Amino acid sequence: MTRMIAAACVAALLLPAVAAAKGFDVDTATRAYLDLLTGPARAKSDAYFEGGYWLILWNAVVAIIVYGALLASGGSARIRDWAERWTSRRWLRRGLYALAFTLVTAVLFLPWTVWEGFVRESQYGLMSQTFGAWAVDQAKGLAIALFVNFWFFVGIFAIIRRFRRTWWAIGAAVTIAFAALGVAIAPVFIAPLFNTYTEMPAGPLRDRIVAVARANDIPAEHIYVADASRQTKRISANVSGLGPTIRITLNDNLLNRTGPDEVVAVMGHEMGHYVLGHIARSILGLGVLALLVFFAVSRIAPRLIARYPNWGVRDVADTAAAPLFLALASAATVVLAPALNTLVRTSESEADAFGLDAAREPDGFAKVAMRLSEYRKIEPGPVEEALFFDHPSGATRVRMSMQWKKDHVPDARIERPVMTFD
C-alpha cells in the first residue's frame, strides 16, 4: 500500500511536466532549425555535397585511366624490370617496385589531387591553407605512403606467390591487419605530423566534458585539441586509435565557432563511438568488404592478364599486376559505396543516440547538425541519404534531437535559434 501511495504521489508531481512535453511538436521544432538555412547558403551546401556524388564516380574513372595507362604502355612492367636489375633479392624487388610505383602514380594523379583537394575546397570556402602549406602536407602524406607501400607490397605479393589458391582470403586479412595497425599508431605517430595536439584548457567546459565521460566510465585524464583551423574551416571531433592508443580529440574550430552546449553534445557523440566499440566494428566491417573485393579481383585479374599479354604482366604474383589490382578495386568502390556508407552511417546514428543520452543537449546537437551543413546537404531525400550519406543528414539529426527533447525534457519548448551561414 505504501508503494502504491508513493507511486501515486510521483505520478501527480509528473503530470504537469508530461502534459507540457505532449504540447511539444517535433515537426515544428525540427522545421524551426531547418528553415535557418535558406537561399544562397543552402544552394552552396547542396552543390558542394551533391558534387561529391559525382566524385565517387570520377575518382574511380581517373584511377582506372591512370592505372590502365601504366598497364597498356608497359610502364608497370618497366618499373618491375628496373627493380629486378637493382637486386636479386625477391622481397627487395617488390619493395623497390612499390617505391617507384608510388612516386609515378603520385605524379600522374597530381592534377586531379590539386583540383579535388585544394581548388575545389577553396572554391567553397572550406580551405584555410595556402597552396604551399597544403603541398607540404601532401608531401608528408606521400612520405608515409612510400613507407607503408614498401612493406605492404613486400607482404602481399609474397602471399600471392606462396598461396596461389587462397591468396585472396589471406591477402584481405593482411590488408585489414595493416589498416588496424595504422589506426592504432595514427594518433601517436602520424596525426602529430600534420597538427599540433594540446590538452584542452581547464575550465567549466572541460569540467562538463569530464563529468559526462566519468558518468559513462570513460577515461578522461586527457582531452586533446587539434589546431585544425590551420587547414580547414570544418568543425569536427573524432575518436582515433585502437586499444591503448584510443583517444577523443576535438578540433579548435569546434571550440572557437560553437557554444558550450554544442561542444558537449559533440563530445557526447564521440564518447558513443568509444563506448560502443565502433572502431573495432568498423575494421571488421571493412574486412568483410575487403574480402569481397579481393575475391572478385582474384577471379577477374588472371583472365585479363592472359587476355592482354602486351601489358608484360607475367601472372598475378608479378608486382607489375599492381595497377590492375588497384583499377579493379577502384571500380569496386563505386559498387560498394552504398554498403560502406550504410556501415558508417549506422555507427554514426548509434553514436548520435548515445550522445543525446549522455550529454542531454538536444538543442546543442541540433545546432551542430545545422553548422555541418557547410559541407553536408541538410535535407536530402530518403533514397539519396541511403546511397550517398556516410553520416545521418542534418535533417535526420535535428529530428532525432527534437524527438529526444520531447521524450526526455518535461518542460520542452520550441527554440527559435539564431544562426548565420556563410
DSSP per-residue letters across 211-243: HHHHHTT---S--EEE-GGGTBS---EEEE-SG
Confidence (pLDDT) at 136: 97
Give a yes or no: residue 48 inside a domain.
yes
Give a yes or no: residue 9 inside a domain.
no
Give a yes or no: residue 219 inside a domain.
no
Amino acid at 307: R
Q: Are 94 and 154 within 8 A, CB to CB?
A: yes
Confidence (pLDDT) at 415: 83
How do strand 224-226 and strand 247-251 relate by DSSP bridges?
parallel
Mean pLDDT per 10-residue section of the chain, whose length is 422 residues: 39 37 84 94 95 96 97 97 95 97 98 97 95 97 97 96 94 93 92 94 93 87 91 90 86 93 95 92 92 96 97 96 97 94 96 96 96 93 95 97 95 83 66
For 11, counting Cβ atoms within 10 Å of its Cβ (0-12 exposed, 13-18 middle, 19+ buried), the class is exposed
Distance, CA of 94 to CA of 155 (rounded, Å): 9
Distance, CA of 92 to CA of 84 (rounded, Å): 9
Give a yes or no: residue 393 inside a domain.
yes
Give a yes or no: residue 345 inside a domain.
yes
Give a yes or no: residue 16 inside a domain.
no
Confidence (pLDDT) at 128: 94
Give a yes or no: residue 246 inside a domain.
no
- Phi then psi for 416, rounded to 5 degrees? -115, 75
Distance, CA of 311 to CA of 321 (rounded, Å): 9
Give a yes or no: residue 253 inside a domain.
no
Q: What's the total number of domains in the chain?
A: 1
Domain range spanning residue 344?
28-198+260-408
Residue 293: CA atoms inside 13 Å, Cβ hemisphere, count? Answer: 27
